[in-house]
Amino acid sequence: MYELPSLPYAPDALAPHISEKTISFHYGKHHQGYVDKLNAAIGDGDLKGKSLEDIILAAKERSDAGLFNNAAQIWNHNFFWNSMSPEATSPSGALASAIDDAFGGVEGFNEKFTAVATGHFGSGWAWLVARKDGLEIKSTSDADLPLAHGERALLCCDVWEHAYYLDYQNARPAFVGVFLKELINWDFAAENMAK
């Protein structure tokens, strides 16, 4: 049985940028709901005890949208929580060099990430991914994720409305701006890049 992982910080740790109320709904209800639905879908079948990554790839291969959506949304949310930190960090070392090469520095990264995250139509995710030829910013719709396309995610921002509506209403650009300025966890991105 898959369990909801603990948050990497207290539920109120991202306030005032993301309120404890948003975390209680987003993590405690939404994220938990995906876990409950995934467990019900897996039951005692052949995917019981498999990793989320294995379940996601198996669901994609089987064209099982329900299984894929719930497993991928758990993975995406786990990744999103870790993509944020109560303490703002800055890129350094190999990651900073890769950001300079790909975007001309953090300011260029912020501009491109903002354009991708705010320009995404509907529900989805904005990602920083590592490719063989460098870094790329991309968006995915609904539950889709880089893993399903053979790419390595470094960090992500949830652009589904439930991620920000209680705090920012329909102002996705304001939420993305706060994510980039106050919450982004570059240390997590560096750890993922080093894998």
Q: Where are the domains of the chain?
A: 20-82, 93-194
> What is the per-residue pLDDT for 150?
94
> What is the per-residue pLDDT for 88?
82
For residue 64, how many C-alpha atoms fall within 13 Å in the half-sphere facing its CB?
Answer: 16
Q: What is the pLDDT of residues 58-100, one digit of tens each?
A: 999 999 999 999 999 999 999 999 999 999 889 999 999 999 9
* Cis amide prior to 16 (ω within 30 degrees): yes
Alpha carbons 81 and 78: distance in angstroms, whole number? 5
User: For residue 14, which of 84, 82, 89 has the smallest C-alpha distance?
Assistant: 84
Q: Which residue has the tokens 């509907």?
A: 122
Range list of H helices, the chain: 20-25, 32-42, 52-62, 65-82, 93-103, 106-119, 165-168, 172-178, 186-194
Flag residues of the chain having pLDDT under 50.
Answer: none
- The reply to whether CATH 1.10.3210.10 applies to domain 20-82 is no
For residue 152, give Cα distances in angstroms to 25, 118, 130, 165, 194.
Answer: 28, 22, 5, 29, 11
> What is the per-residue pLDDT for 1?
85
CATH architecture entry for 93-194: 3-Layer(bab) Sandwich (3.55)
> What is the per-residue pLDDT for 193?
96
The reported pTM is 0.97
